[in-house]
Amino acid sequence: MNNTKLNWKPNASAPLWDVESEGEPQGPFFADLCIEHMRQSGPTCVPTTLAMLARSTGADVGPEDFMPIINSQSPHSWSKALKPYGMQLAYCNFDLRRLEYYIDELVEMDDLFLLSFYSKDPPYDPEVEGGKLCTAHIVTLHRDNIIDTARGGEQAIVSASDYNRSMRQTKRIFRIVPKGHARSI
């Protein structure tokens, strides 16, 4: 065993998307996609968002097509549901910081992302019944625009820098990658 002290310190931050390894496709993967906003009905942001992405590939689907095949709290099931449309999800590095902290870095990548955030300040312990932490929402970032299925009219698609919910704490960030990408979940 080597008793030499390591001169190593933990890194306090990481880029959202680490530098690609040799031979890994770099993207942007879906910068040219044409996404048409869909308005969710009730608490259906996940299936509505997935349907919106699938429709951008020419599929004739709606949220009801995704409801029986996903779990709203299981990103793995979302990724699996996107496979028939040539897409999958890949986790990005993130923590509980507010979404506004990440926006510039995401926009710079000029691609397609799903951004999930807490709708209110999350508690440290889940609610007693069911184990739910608190309500969350998911939106699509395509290039430099946020597409929010919970909103209509002029608020449905807004510039990422003008999104008025970017002060919410981050729950998850995913990059949409082509089916079979090495980082897909």
Domain 45-178 has CATH 3.90.70.10: yes
Closest residue by Cα to residue 75 from 156, 171, 146:
171
Instruction: For 63-84, write each residue's pLDDT tens digit.
Output: 999 999 999 989 999 999 999 9
* Per-residue pLDDT at 40 exceeds 80: yes
Q: Check residues 15 and 108 and name the one with the higher pLDDT.
A: 108
User: Token pair for residue 63?
Assistant: 């949220």
The ranges assigned to domains in the chain are: 45-178
Instruction: For 94-140, write each residue's pLDDT tens digit.
Output: 888 899 999 999 999 999 999 999 887 765 666 666 666 568 899 99
Average pLDDT, the chain: 89
Q: Which residue has the tokens 């008025």?
A: 164
Distances (CA, A) of 11 to 104, 109, 171, 175: 21, 22, 21, 22
Confirm whether pTM is higher than 0.85: yes
Residues contacting 123, CB < 8 A, separation 6+: 133, 134
The pLDDT > 70 percentage for the chain reads 89
